[in-house]
């Protein structure tokens, strides 16, 4: 059984340990607060809104002699109202209805006699089909004409019949490149629009 002095000594020892632990807790809480503020500041600098504007100082002269406050007062009062616009949603078949009334002209892209030769065996190529590549609107002053580009597809008459060349050789006639892909615009239409806009 412990004596009275031993109990008092143990109580003082526990009180000292308690005081030391409380000081340590307060110190750690202070450190946590400092680190939290540092993290918030770093996040704000990295992800927050930033501006490179120089802060205005009252009475500071402008480059041309006026006061900055007067200059800023003049510019801040100007308000520009922009009228909103609505664009209708395109419906399926709008493009076809747009060009329905125009006359169509078919441009056939074919190979000439010198080009209609198989690149593999040198035999003559024969036409096996054709496909519509695109339509473009040609501008003739006071007249619009649709030109439908049709590309002819050729097949070698010899390839695929013998063991030397067992596969069919198919070629297509070259088609002039469009000015704008997936558009009716032709070089003349684009030139006319540019002329109207800038000249």
Domain ranges of the chain: 1-30, 102-198
125/119 Cα distance (integer angstroms): 10
Give CA angle at 186 (138, 107), nearest 5°.
65
Tens of pLDDT, residue by residue, the chain (199 residues): 568 888 888 899 999 999 999 999 999 999 999 999 999 988 888 887 766 666 666 666 665 555 545 545 555 567 778 878 787 777 777 778 878 888 888 999 999 888 899 988 889 999 999 999 988 888 777 678 899 999 999 988 888 888 888 888 889 999 999 988 888 888 888 888 887 876 5
- Beta bridge partners, 170, equal 155
With contact defined as beta carbons under 8 Å apart, do 135 and 147 qualify?
yes
Q: What does the pLDDT read at residue 17?
A: 94
- CB neighbour class for 158 (10 Å; exposed up to 12, middle 13-18, buried from 19): middle
State both tokens at 60.
Answer: 């500071």
Strand ranges, E, within the chain: 103-109, 125-140, 143-156, 170-172
Sign of dihedral through CA atoms 114, 116, 118, 123?
negative
Q: What does the pLDDT read at residue 57?
A: 66
Q: What does the pLDDT read at residue 50?
A: 66
Buried-state track 130-155, b at ≥16 Cβ within 10 A, e below 16? beebbbbbbbeeeebebeebbbbebb
- Between the CA of residue 132 and those of 22, 106, 107, 163, what are the distances in Å? 87, 10, 10, 34
User: Shortest CA distance to 152 belongs to which of 129, 176, 133, 135?
Assistant: 129
- CB neighbour class for 192 (10 Å; exposed up to 12, middle 13-18, buried from 19): middle
With contact defined as beta carbons under 8 Å apart, do 189 and 180 qualify?
no
């Amino acid at each position: 059984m412990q004596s009275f002095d031993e109990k008092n000594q143990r109580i003082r020892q526990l009180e000292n340990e308690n005081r030391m632990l409380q000081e340590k807790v307060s110190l750690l809480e202070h450190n946590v607060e400092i680190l939290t503020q540092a993290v918030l500041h770093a996040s704000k600098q990295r992800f927050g809104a930033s501006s490179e504007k120089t802060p205005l100082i009252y009475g500071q002269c402008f480059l041309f002699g006026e006061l900055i406050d007067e200059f800023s007062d003049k510019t801040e009062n100007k308000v520009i109202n922009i009228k909103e616009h609505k664009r209708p949603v395109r419906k399926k078949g709008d493009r076809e209805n747009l060009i329905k009334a125009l006359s169509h002209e078919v441009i056939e892209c074919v190979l000439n006699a010198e080009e209609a030769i198989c690149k593999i065996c040198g035999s003559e190529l024969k036409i096996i089909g054709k496909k519509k590549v695109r339509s473009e609107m040609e501008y003739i002053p006071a007249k619009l004409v649709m030109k439908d580009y049709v590309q002819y597809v050729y097949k070698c008459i010899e390839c695929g019949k013998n063991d030397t060349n067992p596969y069919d050789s198919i070629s297509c006639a070259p088609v002039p490149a469009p000015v704008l892909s997936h558009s009716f615009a032709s070089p003349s239409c684009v030139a006319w629009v540019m002329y109207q806009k800038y000249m």
